[in-house]
Amino acid sequence: MHSVCLVSLIVTLLVCAGCTNTPNRVESEPVTRAATPVERPATADTRPIIVAFGDSISEGLGVATGKSFPDQLQQKLDTSGFSYRVVNLGVSGDTTTGGVGRLDYAISMKPAVVILELGGNDGLRGIPVASTKANLEKMIGAFQKAGASVVLAGMTLPPNYGPEYIQQFEAAYKDLARKYKVTLIPFLMEDILAQYKAKPGLMQSDGIHPTAEGHEIIADTVMRYLQKVIKPG
């Protein structure tokens, strides 16, 4: 269906994207103060929260502030009439074990939806699939218990990991999606994979991370699945 080289490239992106640990800078905008001595308190953002809970693909490593797929997803939600606030909790290099360690913080935000994008780094490190699956299951269960809908981003691995391991790895996401009745994105990079030959500029020069244009395509992919669990207005 697709060339082995291309699959390896895109899959390696999913996992090696976490090799560095440089967080996005959050740049604050200039504050315009009122002319009167008394300032009115800022209006609280009461929109339901969508948490992007993942590794450097979610974090947006290597692209400008505001160009990660969660940022671009926010823009698409705004222009499509969906009143939600996207919070980016992507951490470069994170594994499912790291995700479990961050659960309490994510849950404290009381998200309405969680885009769970973890497991790729586990796969490239050869972590037993049973361990990865157990961690994902723990996160899905905790998020659902807290009242959040989960959109699970499935992963795959390069062919050199062997068909048996790859099959078990991919099946873990499918099994969990069925068991917990969550929306499954079969492969987060599926639309980049489909367009990569015609648009090599979707990837950064390191051959690992998506460009801003690549992140926009991921945002389109996520939006397509996300609309199954959110409502306009």
Q: Which of 55, 56, 68, 122 is catalytic?
A: 56
Q: Is the dihedral of CA 219, 100, 12, 129 positive or negative?
A: negative
Q: Is position 56 annotated as part of the catalytic site?
A: yes
Burial 64-102 (b: 16+ CB within 10 A, else e): eeebbbbbbbbebbeeeebebbbbbbbbbbbbbebbbee
Distant-in-sequence, close-in-space partners of 178: CB < 8 Å, separation ≥ 6: none
Q: Which of 3, 80, 83, 206 is catalytic?
A: 206
Q: Is position 215 annotated as part of the catalytic site?
A: no
Q: Which of 55, 58, 209, 215 is catalytic?
A: 209
Rg of the chain taking only CA atoms, in angstroms = 18
* Dihedral angle, C-alpha 159, 7, 72, 41, nearest 10 °: 10
Is residue 123 classed as helix, strand or coil in its secondary structure? Answer: helix
* CA atoms of 174 and 171, how far apart (whole Å): 5
Distant-in-sequence, close-in-space partners of 123: CB < 8 Å, separation ≥ 6: 15, 132, 155, 157, 161, 169
Q: Which residues are catalytic?
A: 56, 206, 209
